[in-house]
Amino acid sequence: MKILISKLPDNPWWGHGTPMYVNNPAMRKGQAPNQKLVEIESYMLSQLFKKLPFETVEVDFPYILDQHNFDLRKHDFVFVRDLFISNQRGEVVISKFREKDRQIEADIMQVYLSALGLKTYRLPDKSSSYSEGGEFYFCPGDNLLFGGISRNNISGTEKTAELLNVGELVIIETDAFHLDTVFTPVLDKKKKLVAMIGCLELLTPDSVKRLKNLADKKNIILLDVSVVDGIGTQSELGEFAVNCLPMPGYLIGPTRFHTKKVDELLKSLDIMHITIPLTQYRLSGGAVHCLTNEL
């Protein structure tokens, strides 16, 4: 397995203050990250993945997105998760964003991925379908795709599943801007889905029912966690503990879960839970899953 991450831009990441994207309560317009902490946290993330038994591919931040002119500067490329979804068999679907300002990031990523030899697909430009990487979790051992429909829509999610030739699609609906702010699967060392962790309070009743049915079918645990372990509420931002990268035998996230049953569950499944602080990325509503992507 290969894990893709991005280097930081040369200019301070959102040094002129973050923009405000629709339905993302973490982003407060004009709020600037602490750049020293950004550099430290980025370095720690890079070093962590170099120590894990998986190959890391680190790409340069695109110059065209790192202009001196504030109006031209687009600094969200570090969230490489958003830019594509992979079936980890050499095929990827390039994201089609609702947030039009971000489409250039996905277009640039397509050039990178093609150069690496991956086969890339796109949703039709003129269609009404939307598909963003942060709305998906792919479980390779089960050929199963979890797909959110907040920034995505059903047609975009279904088309992505079709292009990637997945065996089963589980649609999850939430008001959270991306699925990975409220949910994560857990994979064992054989890449099989062995548990699901989610802020069920933030999912629709039908979505919870689908997850419970899947848990029963696969004889695995669906663990409900506090909203503080996810995106939180409009009045109080959560800690994004659930924004994890699930890898075979590992669950890598930004902080420990407040919900104590998570530690017990992961220990019983022989899953190593590794945490790395990403306090500044939280200002844009991102954490480990957002900053990484599988190839």
For the record, the structure tokens of 193 come out as 């889905």
Q: What is the mean pLDDT of residues 56-84?
A: 92
Of 53-62, 116-125, 132-141, 279-288, give the lowest mean pLDDT range: 279-288
**Mean pLDDT of all residues belonging to the chain:** 94
Q: What is the mean pLDDT of residues 254-276?
A: 97
> Which of the four pLDDT bands, split at 50, 70 and 90, describes residue 216?
very high
For the chain, give the percent of residues with pLDDT over 90.
82
pLDDT for residue 200 is more than 90? yes
pLDDT for residue 113 is more than 80? yes
Number of domains in the chain: 1
Query: What's the pLDDT score for residue 114?
Result: 97
Query: What's the pLDDT score for residue 38?
Result: 96
Spell out where 7-110 has E strands: 55-59, 84-86, 91-94
> Which of the four pLDDT bands, split at 50, 70 and 90, describes residue 129?
very high
> Which of the four pLDDT bands, split at 50, 70 and 90, describes residue 27?
low
Give the 3-state DSSP-derived string for 86-104, with helices as H, strands as E and coil as C.
ECCCCEEEECECCCHHHHH
Contact 177, 149 (CB under 8 A): no
Dihedral, 213, 132, 202, 175 alpha carbons, nearest 10: -130
* pTM to 2 decimal places: 0.95
**Residue 208 is part of which domain span?**
2-294
Q: What is the mean pLDDT of residues 115-119?
A: 96
pLDDT for residue 103 is more than 90? yes
Dihedral, 57, 144, 25, 106 alpha carbons, nearest 10: 40
147, HSE (Cβ side, Cα atoms, 13 Å): 27
> Which of the four pLDDT bands, split at 50, 70 and 90, describes residue 70?
confident
Separation CA 192–CA 196 (nearest Å): 12
Query: What's the pLDDT score for residue 234?
Result: 76
Query: What's the pLDDT score for residue 176?
Result: 86
Q: Which residue has the higher pLDDT, 235 or 161?
A: 161
- Segment 266-276, tens digit of pLDDT: 999 999 999 99
Of 12-21, 86-95, 163-172, give the lowest mean pLDDT range: 12-21
Separation CA 33–CA 294 (nearest Å): 27
> Which of the four pLDDT bands, split at 50, 70 and 90, describes residue 191?
very high
**Domain containing residue 249: CATH number:** 3.75.10.10
- Segment 40-60, tens digit of pLDDT: 999 999 999 999 999 999 999
pLDDT for residue 19 is more than 90? no
Separation CA 77–CA 60 (nearest Å): 10
pLDDT for residue 196 is more than 80? yes
